[in-house]
Amino acid sequence: MTDTLTAQELTTYLLCPRKYEFEHIAGLTGDSQRNQDLFRQLLRKAICTGYSESRSNGTDLHDAALETLDTAWDLYADAADHHSSEQESTEKTRAEAGIDAYFDAVGTTHLDRIDQAATICGSPVVGPDITLIAEIQGQQVGVDVDYIMADDTQIVGVRLTDQMWGDQVPYESQDDIVEVHLDQGGYKPEKVGTVIGARIAEEALSQYGNPDTGTELTYLSVMETTFETDGECQAEIEQRPMGQFLADARQTVDDAIAWMAGNITEEVYSPEQVFDEQDHWSGDFEQVVENSCRYCSHAAGCQEAIRREVMFNV
Ligand code: SF4
């Protein structure tokens, strides 16, 4: 058995096993989304600080979040690659609008539920980046959430983001996304990865509460839409509970986790071997080539990519 595998690592394996080897075994840096990652970290930190300060010393949670954003902004802006001061200023205005929209929509409701979760879970319930750990088919797996909230019927892990990632969190109409990828060879690794994360959160949170308590992961996009009204920037949030994506797919997801963990333990990283010769995905390696190789930062040092390029040049 390997150490804890995270939902992010499993998603990378699902995308391409060789990419997993490059990034999680050889320790090479992955495809750069650096600015976006830094921006999400900043939003998470601001909102979680709002909750933490409000719970510990009664500070207004909305004010504390905006103050954290403001205090941390210069450090973030120095690390990020803005191409102009206008771009940086617009981004900050949008972030403030997102935080306003978030607290207007759910701030105090979620604060009450966070308090309930603290009573039920008895461990830190406000992050950012609380790692929930579960065991699925003998494999220890983990997923990061930003806070945990609860009411009388449900315990929910919340993962905050700036936008719902068109390519990553499945749309509500795609409740068969796991079947589409794993049984029909549809190649939607990132979307299936978010469902894997949801399954891990569901299992990890089930240790709390009683057997009748539901558990779930929700993705919450703080600034899904931003727009101008009367010369001011406004934002709207979006929440996507992930339970519906697991309704008919729990066993399939568990089997996929076990399949990938087994391959990783056996050091099976050849994408052709994994996708053309193993039967946990009905697609083939050509879909990896068509969808992922062209955007992959490892292509210059990847034996599969080089071999294919040589073949195309013959
Ligand atoms: S270039 Fe293609 S085969 Fe190689 S690691 Fe990247 S996605 Fe995988």
Ligand 1: centre distance to CA 294 (Å)? 8
Chain centroid, CA 212 distance in Å: 27
Q: Pick 5-313's CATH classification: 3.90.320.10, 3.30.70.2190, 3.20.20.70, 2.30.29.30.
A: 3.90.320.10
Q: How far apart are the C-alpha atoms of 185 and 284, rounded to whole Å? A: 7
Question: For a substitution probing ligand 1, which of 13, 19, 303 has the most ligand atoms within 8 Å of its CB?
Answer: 19
SS3 content of the chain, % helix, strand, coil (to 5): 55, 20, 25
Ligand 1: centre distance to CA 276 (Å)? 15
- Strands 5-6, 139-150: pairing is parallel
Question: For a substitution probing ligand 1, which of 11, 15, 16, 31 has the most ligand atoms within 8 Å of its CB?
Answer: 16
Contact in structure between 210 and 271 (CB atoms under 8 Å): no
Strand partners, 236: 225
Q: How far apart are the C-alpha atoms of 4 and 304, rounded to whole Å? A: 28
- Report the pLDDT value the prediction gives residue 185, as an integer from 0 to 100: 83
Overall residue count recorded for the chain in this entry: 314
- Report the pLDDT value the prediction gives residue 211, as an integer from 0 to 100: 84
Q: How far apart are the C-alpha atoms of 92 and 85, rounded to whole Å? A: 11
Residues with CB under 6 A from ligand 1: 16, 18-19, 22, 271, 288, 292-293, 296, 298-299, 302, 304-305
Q: How far apart are the C-alpha atoms of 50 and 47, rounded to whole Å? A: 5
Question: For a substitution probing ligand 1, which of 21, 293, 297, 309 has the most ligand atoms within 8 Å of its CB?
Answer: 293
Residue 155, C-beta contacts closer than 8 angstroms, at least 6 positions apart: 117, 120, 121, 148, 149, 205, 208, 209, 213, 214, 215, 216
Where are the chain's structural domains?
5-313
Ligand 1: centre distance to CA 305 (Å)? 6
pTM of the model: 0.93
**Ligand 1 atom index nearest CA of 302:** 4
Q: Alpha helices of 17-151 — where are they, by DSSP H?
A: 17-20, 34-57, 61-79, 85-102, 108-121
DSSP, residue by residue, 245-266: HHTTTHHHHHHHHHHHHHHHHT
Q: How far apart are the C-alpha atoms of 54 and 85, rounded to whole Å? A: 33
pLDDT in tens, the chain (314 residues): 458 999 999 999 999 999 999 999 998 877 666 788 899 999 999 999 999 999 999 999 999 999 999 999 999 999 888 889 999 999 999 999 999 999 999 999 999 999 999 999 988 999 999 999 999 999 999 999 999 999 999 999 999 999 886 668 998 889 899 998 888 888 999 999 999 999 999 999 999 988 889 999 999 999 999 999 988 999 999 999 999 999 999 999 999 999 999 999 999 999 999 988 888 888 888 889 888 998 898 988 898 888 776 665 43
